[in-house]
Amino acid sequence: MTATLHIGLVVNPIAGLGGSLGLKGSDGQALRERFEALSTEQRHRSLDRVERALRPLVQAGDRVTFSTWGGDMGAEVLSQLGLAHVVLGEAASKVSLPDDTREAVRALRKQQVDLILFAGGDGTARDVFDVIGGQFPVLGIPAGVKMHSGVFAVSPEAAGELLLQLVRGGLVGLVSREVRDIDEEAFRHDKVRSRFYGEMLVPGEGRYLQHTKVGGRESPELVADDIADWLAEHMEAGRTYLVGPGSTTAGIMDRLGLANTLLGVDVVRDGQLIASDADEATLLEVLELAPGEATIVVTVIGGQGNVFGRGNQQFSPEVIRKVGVDNVMIVAAKSKITALEGRPLLVDTNDPELDKQLSGWHPIITGYDDRILYRIAIIV
């Protein structure tokens, strides 16, 4: 029941160099024109910070692997540390451009990594956001001149320790943080023009939770209410929701004022009950006729940690594939997760290839606008 954290790494190798040259940023053409004249120490500033962030992961061994871009955009530092990695491509020019960063991030996302780890400043964060948007976990290693965005760890070492917590099965919160950027041309003329660019989903540094026993201070009823309130407020018009069995998901149905099948699957769309206690055939029929996309909402079986394959076989491989593995929403109280004492959540759909697609690190909704990032593994 092991799971390997698959990290997508992309490095902006010229991040931060503009500061030492008095350029007040590293986004402009002026820095690229002067790159060759820089000393080796200056050129390696960003890579040195990445090395500091990744060094704690050396002790993780085969529990962590990387996909990355060639040379000083990632592969170089991973090779130096002896960390397992696959190179997906390389920069089109000797000095990488924002387009290289965006191309690398697109390739990493297609590789189904669990998290994008990037090194740079606000400009790099902006490039990552352009590809990723706000619904996929990312973490920034601070390496730029100006870092007004909230998507960076407080230091390279903090980023490494945070990732090590994930590898070890710790509970790490997921929070939305602002991507901000400054107009560097205006900044060079002593005019600060910071703007909101978007939000990205980031592991919540400093929000590690101690393992506690089930039945501690957390009230399952209040947590279920919080989750139900959040989901009810964020249900999309026209989207079909397949709500699985369990007391946590029952709270969602109660919040919507709809009849609930505690041990079955109910189907909801636009606040209306479309099907009650639906079997596999009914779910497939509903999905075939659905006007838009669908979401499966499941909870965790307490004590065992099963997400699929125990008590909810109505969610067959065919149903899950039709909905899409990216459209599975897992809801659970933190007490259920901490009771696992670091063990992963489990999937057993009777389809090994699908189980593999479902495994990895996934967001778990644990309260009102409260998420953690936790691993899912295959039963072996």
The confidence score (pLDDT) of residue 35 equals 54
As a whole number of angstroms, the distance between CA 193 and CA 343 comes to 46
The confidence score (pLDDT) of residue 297 equals 97
Average pLDDT on 304-325 reads: 94
Statement: residue 26 has pLDDT above 70: no
- Bridging pattern class, strands 85-87 and 64-68: parallel
The confidence score (pLDDT) of residue 188 equals 54
Interval 208-267: pLDDT, tens:
332 322 334 457 678 888 999 999 999 999 999 999 999 889 999 999 999 999 899 999
As a whole number of angstroms, the distance between CA 368 and CA 225 comes to 9
Q: What are phi and psi of 215, to 5 degrees?
A: 95, 15
As a whole number of angstroms, the distance between CA 100 and CA 131 comes to 12
As a whole number of angstroms, the distance between CA 329 and CA 297 comes to 5
**For the chain, what percent of residues have pLDDT higher than 70?**
83
Looking at per-residue pLDDT, the higher value among 171 and 231 belongs to 231
Side by side, the strands of the sheet bearing 85-87 are 85-87, 64-68, 5-11, 115-120, 138-142
- Bridging pattern class, strands 64-68 and 5-11: parallel
Can you say whether residue 318 is alpha, beta or left, with left for phi > 0 and alpha for psi between -120 and 50 degrees?
Answer: alpha
Interval 29-39: pLDDT, tens:
555 555 555 54
The confidence score (pLDDT) of residue 341 equals 85
What the block records as the tokens of 322 is 């039709």
Pair 235, 266: CB distance under 8 Å: no
Cα torsion 92, 103, 129, 294 to 10°: value is 180
Average pLDDT on 112-137 reads: 94
Q: Which CATH number fits domain 5-209: 1.10.3470, 3.40.50, 2.20.28, 3.30.1490?
A: 3.40.50
Which one-letter amino acid corresponds to residue 364? I
Strand partners, 119: 11, 141
Average pLDDT on 80-86 reads: 97
As a whole number of angstroms, the distance between CA 261 and CA 246 comes to 9
> What is residue 344's DSSP assignment?
P
Q: Which of 183-192, 223-232, 253-262, 278-287 has the lowest mean pLDDT?
A: 183-192
The DSSP H or E segment spanning 22 is: none
**Following DSSP, what letter does each residue of 138-200 receive, concatenated?**
EEEEE-SS---SS-B-SSHHHHHHHHHHHHTT-EEEEEEEEEEEE-HHHHTTT---EEEEEEE
As a whole number of angstroms, the distance between CA 296 and CA 366 comes to 16
The CA-atom distances, in angstroms, between 297 and each of 18, 227, 259, 268, 372 are: 47, 11, 16, 11, 16
Which span out of 20-29, 38-47, 252-261 was modeled with the highest average pLDDT? Answer: 252-261
